[in-house]
Structure 1
Amino acid sequence: MRKTIIVSNRLPVKISETDGEFILHTSEGGLATGLGAVYREGNNIWVGWPGQEIIDLKDQEKVTKELRKTNLMPVFLTQEEINNFYEGFSNETLWPVFHYMAVYAHYEQVNWDAYYQVNQKFRDIILKVAEPGDIIWIHDYQLLLLPGMIRAALPEISIGFFQHIPFPSYELFRLIPWRAEILEGMLGADLMGFHTFDDTRHFLNAASRILPVNTSANVVSFNDRAIVVETFPMGIDYDKFVALGSDPMVLQQIKNLKENFQEDRLILSIDRLDYSKGILQRLQAFELLLQLHPEYIGKVVLYMIVVPSRDTVPQYKELRDEIDKQVGNINARFRTLAWHPIQYFYRSFPVETLSALYNFADICLVTPMRDGMNLVSKEYVASRNNNDGVLILSEMAGASKELIDAIIVNPNNIGAITRAIVDALDMPLAEQQRRMKQMRQLVSKFNIHHWVKLFMTRLQEVNEMQQNMLARRVNQETAVFIRQQYREATKRIVFLDYDGTLVGFQPNIDMASPDPDLYQLLRELANIPGNDLVMISGRKHETLGEWFGHLRLDLIAEHGAWQKTKEGEWYELPGLTDKWKKEIMPMMELATDRTPGSFIEEKSYSLVWHYRKVESGLGELRANELMNTLRYYTVEKGLQVLPGDKVIEVKNVEINKGKAALSWLNHKKYDFIMAMGDDITDEDIFKALPPKAITIKVGSQVSAAQYYLRSYHEVRHLLRTLKNK
């Protein structure tokens, strides 16, 4: 029976040992809440580390048995693995780089080795329970290699991956020595999810610049698979936080807060101890508030909760010490006998206490330097059942892309945070309610359950799309069908593009001349009775004539501007003009002057701007600029602008490979028609040929062609099978 396997670094339970007995405590985390309903259903499984080192095999068996009762599967890690994989590579390499704090990153080979081995350990556990038809959903930065490892072992299985922290820009990501291996691991997934569009864009950019992959919109083509990369902003359990507002325990704590703070205005700050959270900057902004606005002394309190995290690590210990110092200085400087400006707690609190604080606080101050989403901001909004209160939110948090009615600030701008606090304190109730209602509607709709449903539905759609693409690939069964059609026919015509179809893509266009193997193949195919082979290319007619004039081939050059039958001479399409070139050439020359490595190729009735030798990124940028300029100038001149593989071509609109192919079909009746090509210009042939024709796109799955092949090697192989009896 089909099942869903959820995989994360930690299981959604905490495990503790008392007198030799292991006790499970359910986690309160957002992910555990959202996926709780999923993993508890039927025979679904959640795979992860139980949270502590368990060495004894009998204890491992005992824990495994206990966890399996609730559909959980443990991955046991040694202390050394925890130190090197989790504390080491995950949190000392990936975490700082992904949070734009690369100065804190360490690149240790021993940590990378442990990261690789632990991902393998997770893979081995999953392979014990995974079956064909299952769905595997992997979570977060600790398991970036896992999708690729599972894909290698189970090529047909459905894999989703979601990253809960930011994905950095290419310039930062490239600092990681193992960047290519990480990307290849992630691309084992079918669907990849990020919190924001920026993260999605950064991933696509990094993949296209580091790996030999093709990206089109949000689809990456890698190892003959289409991987979809999309944005799925994560939500919270909205109803839970709404309901907590009327919980008797929460109401009692709200009453206590009112008694304690009376008329004081409360600013709430809740964070885990981490340098990415902007805690020190927040304290500086609050200190500046009290300096510039002494009228708030005795009236405003910053209620700061910092949840302990990794405080044995030097950077975190220093951060904690600095927070202690700043809080002490501010309290010592501004406090009165009856009032403390900062109420500071270095510990975690139960969700009921947090709910009481969310309900009571006038302002919630959430100003991380960088955050994937930040659910505290959404929890505060969900808790405001009276639609009042003000959220101050960092523009560097993923949530800022959704909660646009918050006061959005740059967390590096201390003055801006101070001004935001003043604006929040002075904000009229009607304005508070207008903003909060909008945000509550959004948080209510895009809740954690909506997020899970959206991701799983999209994963199913992606799998269906991939199946359709696989069905179009020329596999063994399709090849048998094509050979059968070919052998039953007596009059056959085969249209063949050249560059990218019969030979590989070369940095230098003059290096792509035919090799002896290709000559032999074409010669044998052309000499078979009943065969007409038509080479249909964008190449100059002089070049095609020089390369193939001695073979029994029909030649169509420059996309149809020049044509030649086996026995005849070259003739050009009547009515064409090249007078437009003197207007277009200066535009291309300007682009060439600005783009080192680019060059212009002039044909009889077309101009081609090549950027195959240009630095990746710059070429695409200049090509887009040139395309926009050319489209404006060519729109009323009877010209067509064609973007191709590292080229932009301008030609007469009358010149068209499709029209040229149809003119050949008008001379003779054929009972077998086949066309193969790799370029956008070949789409004209695929669209023009009759439905019975066999059309094959090379190197891409997105095409009007019926089938596709991955490379020119596969094209030659298929053609060889046609000539063999």
Structure 2
Amino acid sequence: MECHSLSRLIIISNRVSAPTDSNSGAQGGLAVALAAALREYKGMWFGWSGETTDHFTGHINFQRAQGVTTATVDLEEQDIDEYYNGYANRTLWPLFHYRIDLAEYERGFAGGYQRVNDRFADTVRPLIDPDDVVWIQDYHMFPLGSSLRARGCKNRIGFFLHIPWPPRRLLGVLPEAAELVRHLFDYDVIGFHTEEWLESFCDYAIVELGATLDGHTLTLGERVLHVMADPIGIDATEFIEASHSPTARLAFRRMRDSAVGRDMIVGVDRLDYSKGLEERFLGYERFLKTYPEERKEVFLLQIAPPSRGAVESYQKIRAALEGMSGRINGAFADVDWVPIRYVNQGYPRDQLAGIYRAARIGLVTPLRDGMNLVAKEYVAAQDPEDPGVLILSRFAGAATQLQGGAILINPYSAEEISDAIVQALKMPRDERITRWRTMMDNVVNEDVVWWRKRFTQALMGDAKVGE
């Protein structure tokens, strides 16, 4: 049985990205993936509009664009401060990315987080029909399943976590850890990107809560939860097509012309401390110092659109990177060459495809990442006859799938980054092609459609979880 036989698929996430242009630079990988799912299935995408209101009323703004129906609500300023900027991004995000030094714990944050999830439940509950399947996304909404159950929702409800799940002892730092994990047993299916994140979740539930595990089924009292590792992919067909579009070809020519015969290294990351950007700059600086003969043959293009500007730790990393890029350029630049081009803005996906294709090296060095779709986009954009080389952090979720072709590095080691850059620059074309084909097979075969079908079939009970 496919999802078509059901009434609808209801997707709920923190932000809703109404599609106006499939190549919009404002759409991240998850937004593109969810929009693709809703185009195939009848359904609705519910969440926060990104806008504020003086008083929360639960008023829903419905829109339909490119086959996707969206339903959004505005939140009060206090909601945003406590739920989004507070608990989600100053407590959960750093902790789940192993940065306990940056995590902040305030009762007001936790209270606002629960309040907003209850408000979402109050608002979306009347829109859910008895036969609908509900799919909730990410760390902003851990307790939403419980809130819906408390309001009489007996539908199949699934949850997917797009960030890492931390080890048990690390999660224990969170004051509400046990309560948060108990909330998750009100779902029918939970998905993670890797077996590592899945195992960490099960370890906490078993050791701290007394749950039992049988295959891919966790049981806690009367509650039964199916768990699965289901790595997300990109819309490979669409991205390959985008890489051949006029916009992509123009971006490719512009980058090749501006390179003046030099090899380009590209990094594309949201400005976030989990992405390892400072470590990346230090590794590139080590390369410049250690291999002076290679120095003027390459340059690093780092595209880093700002995000979460209201959170202090994000302000600090932006200032740090601006200082580092200025220092490195000041130390190594010449009148006809600048080692780092540092850009604080986003670009449409078709333009990025052309930039990726022009890059000899894709440098993806997160300190910890649930998946990282940039790595897969870089692979998909390459010229099959002359592909570039992917240098990838072993701590990215994507490393599990792409390890056969990428050069895996420890992002904390400037020496490993430096050595990997030299290895990539000197790699023969035959080896580059062999490595690329290995990765491309995975990118194409385990794409976003594969990811979505595995999860929705498990959620409907039509497939053995984990197959």
TM class by smaller structure: over 0.9
Q: Residue 282 of structure 1: CA displacement? A: 0.7
- Is the CA contact (8 Å cut-off) linking 2:165 and 2:197 kept in structure 1? yes
Q: 2:384 aligns with which of 383, 386, 393?
A: 386
Bigger Cα Rg: 1
Which amino acid letter does the alignment assign opposite residue 12 of structure 2? V
Within a 5 Å distance, the mapping from 1:424-463 to structure 2 comes to 424-461=424-461
Q: Is 2:61 the counterpart of 1:64?
A: yes
Separation of aligned partners in 2, 1:209 and 1:118: 30
Q: What secondary structure, in the 3-state scheme, does the structure 2 residue paired with 1:102 have?
A: coil
Q: Residue 301 of structure 1: CA displacement? A: 0.2
Match of 2:9 in 1: 4
Q: Residue 34 of structure 1: CA displacement? A: 2.2
Which amino acid letter does the alignment assign opposite residue 187 of structure 2? A
Q: Segments of 4+ in structure 1 off by > 6 A?
A: 462-465
CA shift digits 1:310-366 (9 cap, x unpaired):
234322222111111111111111111111111110111122321111110000000
Separation of aligned partners in 2, 1:70 and 1:455: 20
- Is the CA contact (8 Å cut-off) linking 1:204 and 1:218 kept in structure 2? no
Match of 1:50 in 2: 49
Which amino acid letter does the alignment assign opposite residue 43 of structure 2? N
Which amino acid letter does the alignment assign opposite residue 10 of structure 1? R
Q: Residue 126 of structure 1: CA displacement? A: 2.3
Q: What secondary structure, in the 3-state scheme, does the structure 2 residue paired with 1:324 have?
A: helix
Separation of aligned partners in 2, 1:43 and 1:362: 41
Separation of aligned partners in 1, 2:36 and 2:391: 32
Q: Which runs of 5+ in 2 are unaligned?
A: 1-5
Within a 5 Å distance, the mapping from 1:41-440 to structure 2 comes to 44-55=43-54, 64-66=61-63, 70-154=68-152, 156-386=154-384, 388-404=387-403, 405-440=405-440
Separation of aligned partners in 1, 2:355 and 2:188: 41
- Is the CA contact (8 Å cut-off) linking 1:245 and 1:383 kept in structure 2? yes
Q: Residue 219 of structure 1: CA displacement? A: 1.4
CA shift digits 1:393-448 (9 cap, x unpaired):
00100000000110001111111111111100110000000000110011001111
Separation of aligned partners in 1, 2:33 and 2:115: 29
Q: Residue 54 of structure 1: CA displacement? A: 3.7
Which amino acid letter does the alignment assign opposite residue 332 of structure 1? G
Q: Residue 2 of structure 1: CA displacement? A: 2.0
Q: Residue 179 of structure 1: CA displacement? A: 0.8
Q: What secondary structure, in the 3-state scheme, does the structure 2 residue paired with 1:95 have?
A: helix
Match of 2:3 in 1: none
- Is the CA contact (8 Å cut-off) linking 1:195 and 1:373 kept in structure 2? yes
Separation of aligned partners in 2, 1:221 and 1:381: 40
CA shift digits 1:645-697 (9 cap, x unpaired):
xxxxxxxxxxxxxxxxxxxxxxxxxxxxxxxxxxxxxxxxxxxxxxxxxxxxx
Match of 1:697 in 2: none
After superposition, the Cα gap between the structure-2 partners of 1:300 and 1:56, relative to the gap in structure 1 and judged at 3 Å, is same
Which amino acid letter does the alignment assign opposite residue 291 of structure 2? H
Separation of aligned partners in 1, 2:412 and 2:143: 33
Within a 5 Å distance, the mapping from 1:501-540 to structure 2 comes to none
Match of 1:470 in 2: none
Q: What secondary structure, in the 3-state scheme, does the structure 2 residue paired with 1:111 have?
A: helix
After superposition, the Cα gap between the structure-2 partners of 1:40 and 1:444, relative to the gap in structure 1 and judged at 3 Å, is closer
Separation of aligned partners in 2, 1:50 and 1:422: 45
Higher relative CO (Cα under 8 Å, sequence separation at least 6) belongs to 2
Separation of aligned partners in 2, 1:105 and 1:120: 24
After superposition, the Cα gap between the structure-2 partners of 1:204 and 1:249, relative to the gap in structure 1 and judged at 3 Å, is same
Separation of aligned partners in 2, 1:151 and 1:66: 27
After superposition, the Cα gap between the structure-2 partners of 1:84 and 1:51, relative to the gap in structure 1 and judged at 3 Å, is same
TM-score scaled by length of structure 1: 0.60
- Is the CA contact (8 Å cut-off) linking 2:185 and 2:224 kept in structure 1? no
Q: What secondary structure, in the 3-state scheme, does the structure 1 residue paired with 2:402 have?
A: coil
Q: Residue 308 of structure 1: CA displacement? A: 0.5
Q: Residue 50 of structure 1: CA displacement? A: 1.0
Q: Residue 27 of structure 1: CA displacement? A: 5.2
- Is the CA contact (8 Å cut-off) linking 1:14 and 1:50 kept in structure 2? no
Percent of residue pairs identical: 35
Within a 5 Å distance, the mapping from 1:544-623 to structure 2 comes to none
Separation of aligned partners in 2, 1:174 and 1:464: 31
Count residues with an aligned counterpart: 454
Q: What secondary structure, in the 3-state scheme, does the structure 1 residue paired with 2:416 have?
A: helix
Q: Residue 463 of structure 1: CA displacement? A: 9.1
Separation of aligned partners in 1, 2:53 and 2:331: 49
- Is the CA contact (8 Å cut-off) linking 1:192 and 1:227 kept in structure 2? yes
- Is the CA contact (8 Å cut-off) linking 2:25 and 2:346 kept in structure 1? no
In angstroms, what is the RMSD of aligned CA positions?
Answer: 2.2
Q: Residue 55 of structure 1: CA displacement? A: 4.2
Separation of aligned partners in 2, 1:98 and 1:37: 27
Separation of aligned partners in 1, 2:151 and 2:463: 18
Separation of aligned partners in 2, 1:315 and 1:461: 42
After superposition, the Cα gap between the structure-2 partners of 1:375 and 1:155, relative to the gap in structure 1 and judged at 3 Å, is same
Which amino acid letter does the alignment assign opposite residue 333 of structure 2? R
Separation of aligned partners in 1, 2:362 and 2:73: 38
Within a 5 Å distance, the mapping from 1:643-654 to structure 2 comes to none
TM-score scaled by length of structure 2: 0.92
After superposition, the Cα gap between the structure-2 partners of 1:70 and 1:453, relative to the gap in structure 1 and judged at 3 Å, is closer
Separation of aligned partners in 2, 1:54 and 1:26: 26
Q: Which runs of 5+ in 1 are unaligned?
A: 16-24, 466-725
Q: Is 2:33 the counterpart of 1:34?
A: yes
CA shift digits 1:282-304 (9 cap, x unpaired):
11111111111111122110111
- Is the CA contact (8 Å cut-off) linking 2:233 and 2:373 kept in structure 1? yes
Which amino acid letter does the alignment assign opposite residue 349 of structure 1? Y
Separation of aligned partners in 1, 2:224 and 2:250: 54
